Structure 1
Amino acid sequence: MATVVLDNGAGAAKVGYATDKEPRIVPNCVTKAKNVRTRIFIGDQIDDCKDLSGLYYLLPFQKGYLVNWDIERQVWDYIFGKDTLKVDFNETNLIVTEPYFNFNSVQEAMNEIFFEEYAFKSVLKSNPSFLSQYKYTKETNAPPLCSVVLDTGYSFSHVVPYLKGKKIPEAVKRVNVGGKVLTNHLKEVISYRQLMVMDETYVINQVKEDVCYVSSQFMEDMDIAKKKGKENTIARDYVLPDYTHIKRGYVRPPEETTGKAKDGEQIIRMNNERFAIPELLFHPSDVGVQEMGVAEALVYAISTLPEEMQPHMYKNIVLTGGNCLLPGFSDRFYADVRSMAPEDFDIKVKTPNNPITYAWEGGCMLANTEDYKKMAVAREQCEEHGHTICSENSTSDTSINIHVHIIHLM
């Protein structure tokens, strides 16, 4: 029986059949364009839009939680419909991710939509980190008893420890900084220093992805960024799209970085913004978010666990989420964790080839196993027992109380 895996992120939905080699990545939003008044663009239909300046976004997620069901239904209808997956709901299972600490009302609404409106044969709801640690555990030669997942995505960054495949809820930590905060702050900085771009979320997000990196030597890079001429090896010119001759913005190579626009071009000079924006992941207080950075949050989360568990956690750290694609992220994360962790602990950080699709790949691995049959809820079961059975079987709620059930790992 076919199984659809839907990693329903706030920024992008990663979706495909469990037999697919890679997912289709669909922006989880509905978009309106200034120059096309008669049409809305659902998900990746935005690729059909010829002028991407001044896009207006309708987002189903706000602050990490699903609040606009009308928009989400449009995206799901498009994903499951005849133009994309062509799902035969009565003969198809579903693995779908939901936010951490999801509200009961949202969970019940999801159950109703997937079972009653779409009528999937069976559904398994999960957090993305569960699927990531599942894949990591199954891929490792000697499967670890403990692992900790850093999931740094669009709305938030979460640190989620696992013991024997079960989440330890009291040790889960959230940092209220994700890719959306980085893009919004970059818009504000560029608008203040150079050019008004507050309406250009789509373009500035591309600028962030093309130019920004995580610095391992912040103050040294800041000193270099103060220099002028060729001594400044950090500054780059980013040529903005005009949607006539230039369809997508691009970075000029270092030897052509002059800070001057050629005929018909409009450029943004990216200097210390390149590394100062991603620095918010490690120091959120730079923009007034009085919280720990992602590395400090992981060390703190592990410190709350029993001592015999801690060295095993440090040896099995998994990085997932779109922010991990920033160049230098994993090296900086390792260095920061190494500086804060106890000296006698080994630290191993696993960065997947594609951190965005890693949870989806874990769902594909889970789809055709006995584990799926044990955890999934069939439509008939939901009709008979109601929402309670869905909550009991959801991996999002499958947790372990370490203070009651302590396991000696040494």
Structure 2
Amino acid sequence: MGHEPVIVLDNGGSSCKIGLAGQSEPYRVFPNAIGRAKGERQSFVADQLLSYRDASSLVLKRPFDRGYLVNWDVEKAVWWRAFKSLLQMQPQDCGLLMTEPPFNLPSIQASTLQMVFEEYGFRSFAAMPAQPLSLRAWAAERADLPAAAAGVGVVVDAGFSFTHAVPLCDGRVLWPAVRRVNLGGKALTNYLKELVSYRSINMMEETYLVEHIKDTVCFVSADLRADLAGARAGAHRLEYVLPDGVNEQLGHVRQPQPRERGKQAAADKSSREQVLMLNNERFMVPEVLFQPSDIGLEQAGLAQTIVDAVEAAHPDLHPLLYSNVLCTGGSAKCPGFRDRLYKELRPLVPDDIEVGVHMPSDPVLAAWKGASAFATSPDYSQQAITKAHYEEMGYERLLNLAPDAAKAAATGYYTTSG
């Protein structure tokens, strides 16, 4: 396969993380989207969205829908900018290691292969689920944990579209045991939009801005009743000053202002500001991950989902799996997430089994870091499909010749090594 550089792309529904194999951190993290300001024709692609002057006017178009890559026109624009403008590399001289969602559809895998080899001309390509890669990075970060060192654990991936509980053994996904909650960061953002639009200011068209507000002010409650009582007393009240399109791009948080008359200058400034009032929304939005019934979703909460996933694995693995529950994904960064998950999970597990709920140093970058390490190992060469092999056999012929082995060789999906 040669010694060509390998581009590592964690291709998430919300954001892309991109860099080169062997690096400790991705080169850039940027939205996996194209945005356009209301009333304007110019589009902003990927990292260009981060510097646009007024986030409140952006309308986004994403390549992912319900967790799967379906809009290749958007994705192609994002990838071309990432490869050519950000990394400044020619795909024809590189390999590509990319993450893909669990249970990715064969039709999407086929389209991905065609795009990678025919549109971009990469020399080699492998696609892997993010969860074993996250566990690989965690094993390097916490080599003192026996389960992590053995490649055993449950990766709780609180992503953009879904939240998965993925048990692994020896770095390999136990696919029959994987469980999913149909909630992710996108649903939480939509829920926050509905709440604030009903109670304060209409924000239904401000998805990009509300997503940022959610990431800034929300937290997971450790004691819901106490926090609800505190909210009634104003303990969690915050004011979010919305961007004005001139001085601020995303706005900022401030403590509630007193209702007294101040200096005229302060009053004039306040009158020009558009302020979003936030109170119990700050913790009721992430609460739905633990209580999906709050929004009418008839599914188990996150803790019970983990138990269901572990119970579907072999009983001999249960102690190791429960001892190494790893929280990853953007929603896992919400303050209080790990502690609340442990609090709910501990009573559901037998007393004689240790429960360990862990958080990597950066739950958003865990998969990319694991992929970066994997791409420098001999495993990548063994698992990746080369452009020559693709041109000789084609994806359909590979599947027809030996369905299981071919799919493993082409995508690394069913024989993932941690």
Of 25, 28, 35, 2:29 maps to: 25
Question: For structure 1, which segment, 289-298 or 378-387, has the greater mean C-alpha deviation from structure 2 after superposition?
Answer: 378-387
1:9-158 superposed matches below 5 A: 9-23=12-26, 24-35=28-39, 37-81=40-84, 83-139=85-141, 140-141=143-144, 142=146, 143-158=149-164
CA contact under 8 A between 2:37 and 2:59: conserved in structure 1? yes
Superposed CA deviations along residues 176-214 of structure 1, whole A, max 9, x for unmatched, are: 100000110100011111111111111111211111100
What is aligned with 2:264? none
The offset of 1:138, in angstroms, is 4.1
- Structure 1 residues 28 and 259: alpha-carbon distance in aligned structure 2, compared to 1, 3 A threshold: farther
Counterpart secondary structure, 2:112? helix
The offset of 1:257, in angstroms, is 6.7
What is aligned with 2:325? 317
Of 209, 220, 229, 1:214 maps to: 220
What is aligned with 1:376? 384
CA contact under 8 A between 2:22 and 2:376: conserved in structure 1? no
The offset of 1:395, in angstroms, is 3.0
What is aligned with 2:402? none
RMSD of aligned Cα (Å): 1.9
- Structure 1 residues 383 and 294: alpha-carbon distance in aligned structure 2, compared to 1, 3 A threshold: same
What is aligned with 1:180? 186
Matched-pair identity in %: 38
Question: For structure 1, which segment, 177-186 or 333-342, has the greater mean C-alpha deviation from structure 2 after superposition?
Answer: 333-342
Separation in 1, partners of 2:340, 2:332: 11
Letter in 2 for 1:345: I
Of 326, 329, 338, 2:334 maps to: 326
Separation in 2, partners of 1:58, 1:263: 33
CA contact under 8 A between 2:59 and 2:208: conserved in structure 1? no
- Structure 1 residues 110 and 210: alpha-carbon distance in aligned structure 2, compared to 1, 3 A threshold: same
The answer to whether residue 362 in structure 2 is matched with residue 354 in structure 1 is yes
CA contact under 8 A between 2:128 and 2:416: conserved in structure 1? no
Superposed CA deviations along residues 285-335 of structure 1, whole A, max 9, x for unmatched, are: 111111112221011110122221100101111111000111101111111
The offset of 1:144, in angstroms, is 2.0
- Structure 1 residues 259 and 164: alpha-carbon distance in aligned structure 2, compared to 1, 3 A threshold: farther
CA contact under 8 A between 2:342 and 2:357: conserved in structure 1? yes
Counterpart secondary structure, 1:100? coil
Separation in 1, partners of 2:72, 2:126: 20
What is aligned with 2:315? 307
**Structure 2: gaps (5+ residues):** 262-266, 399-404
Separation in 2, partners of 1:395, 1:239: 47
TM-score (norm 2): 0.90
What is aligned with 1:273? 281
The offset of 1:385, in angstroms, is 2.8
Counterpart secondary structure, 2:201? coil
Question: For structure 1, which segment, 43-52 or 342-351, has the greater mean C-alpha deviation from structure 2 after superposition?
Answer: 43-52
CA contact under 8 A between 2:60 and 2:208: conserved in structure 1? no
The answer to whether residue 204 in structure 2 is matched with residue 198 in structure 1 is yes
Letter in 2 for 1:239: V
Separation in 2, partners of 1:91, 1:19: 17
What is aligned with 1:264? 272
The offset of 1:98, in angstroms, is 1.1
Counterpart secondary structure, 1:149? strand
Letter in 2 for 1:180: K
The offset of 1:258, in angstroms, is 6.0
Letter in 1 for 2:413: S
Of 163, 169, 172, 2:169 maps to: 163
- Structure 1 residues 194 and 121: alpha-carbon distance in aligned structure 2, compared to 1, 3 A threshold: same
Superposed CA deviations along residues 333-358 of structure 1, whole A, max 9, x for unmatched, are: 11111121111111112201111111
CA contact under 8 A between 2:157 and 2:328: conserved in structure 1? yes
Counterpart secondary structure, 2:95? strand
Of 345, 351, 358, 2:353 maps to: 345
1:377-396 superposed matches below 5 A: 377-387=385-395, 388=398, 391-393=407-409, 394-396=411-413
Aligned residues: 393
TM-score (norm 1): 0.91
Counterpart secondary structure, 2:156? strand
Separation in 2, partners of 1:385, 1:350: 43
CA contact under 8 A between 1:238 and 1:251: conserved in structure 2? yes
